[in-house]
Amino acid sequence: MKKAFVVGHPIKHSRSPLIHGHWLKQYGIEGSYERIDVAPADFGEFLKTFPERGFVGGNVTIPHKEAACLGVDRRTKRAERLGAVNTLWREDGLIWGDNTDVLGFTAHLDRSLGQGWEEAVDTALIVGAGGAARAIVAGLQDRGIPRLLVINRTLPKAEELVRDLRDDGPSSLQALPWGDIDAALATAGLVVNTTSLGMAGQPPLDLDLGISPDGAVVADIVYVPLRTPLLAAAEARGLRTVDGLGMLLHQAVPGFARWFGVTPEVTPELRALIVADLEGRS
Ligand code: NAP
């Protein structure tokens, strides 16, 4: 029986076991996927010894993604570029790491907006410059969006992100101070909230979407609640919206495929299962 895990600290709120457990059942695979709480001081030891403990691999979440990137034997170019690993597996006796958030975000945009959506976007505005913002920027660079604007409350963090990712593709990448947000909104065909604003218990991300071009798309990677105040405001303004849950579901696909040998599908049933859990109905 193949065993996989999600490791983090804390870990009890992770929805990953629900996602992978659903797929194990759906595809009739004898396997398991469990939560493991590991404190930062013990993560290095965990990373080296998970194969001995019988695991084929697993997911890594906050606060271990950067340590995982430094600690693996081999990492993909994508993980190297982001300095963060969220998926581990064994290959030829070595521990490998990848970052699947990038593919999770773009796969969800493809599914929500239809293939080729990127051709209609000249400028994307990324709000926030944390770990998730890096994956979003990398995904949009991969899709060749000509102009990427990164705006963050703490400008030096946006500048650092731009320095780190600037050379990875043809997109122009620019850091902006928070005060420039309206000017940026006026030109952006895609707006992505990557901050924690709008999460349950946090203030909303309050943008003046009246300035946005008609036909703009507003995406939020926050998924608790699923319909954030930002997405509600975008709908009210008549803009297309993309919620954060699809990214979570799609980022899980490559790991499952590596560990269990089947490429799983993100289905409406899976989505409904996680929505029920988020809404406390399961
Ligand atoms: P992080 O590295 O801690 O970054 C947090 C970001 O939010 C920073 O840019 C921070 O700005 C900004 N922020 C926090 N409070 C703010 C405030 N009051 N006003 C303005 N900006 C504020 O976190 P992360 O890992 O990038 O995650 C960010 C969010 O994305 C979380 O809600 C997380 O749950 C979600 N997420 C979703 C998925 C998914 O699959 N859908 C995947 C990953 C993350 P400063 O730099 O100024 O502090």
The per-residue DSSP string of 206-219 comes to ---GGGSPTT-EEE
Q: Which residue lies with its CA nearest to atom 35 of ligand 1?
A: 222
Residue 167 has what pLDDT?
Answer: 79
Within 13 Å and on the Cβ side, how many CA atoms surround 132?
21
Residue 282 has what pLDDT?
Answer: 62
Catalytic residue among 3, 12, 48, 65: 65
Which atom of ligand 1 is the closest one to the Cα of 245?
A: 41
Ligand 1 site residues, Cβ closer than 6 angstroms: 101, 104, 128-133, 152-154, 157, 194-197, 199, 221-223, 244, 247-248, 251
Strand ordering across the sheet containing 172-177: 172-177, 147-152, 123-127, 190-193, 217-220, 240-242
Active site residue 65: yes
Q: How far apart are CA 189 and CA 120, in angstroms?
A: 8
Q: How far apart are CA 237 and CA 228, in angstroms?
A: 14
pTM of the predicted protein model? 0.95
- DSSP SS3 for 147: strand
- Cα 131 from chain centroid? 9
pLDDT tens, residue order, the chain (282 aa):
999 999 999 999 899 999 999 999 999 999 999 999 999 999 999 999 999 999 999 999 999 999 999 999 999 999 999 999 999 999 999 999 999 999 999 999 999 999 999 999 999 999 999 999 999 999 999 999 999 999 999 999 999 999 999 977 888 999 999 999 999 999 999 999 999 999 999 999 999 999 999 999 999 999 999 999 999 999 999 999 999 999 999 999 999 999 999 999 999 999 999 999 998 866
Residue 175 has what pLDDT?
Answer: 98
Residue 170 has what pLDDT?
Answer: 85
As given in the structure block, the two tokens for residue 271 are: 């989505």
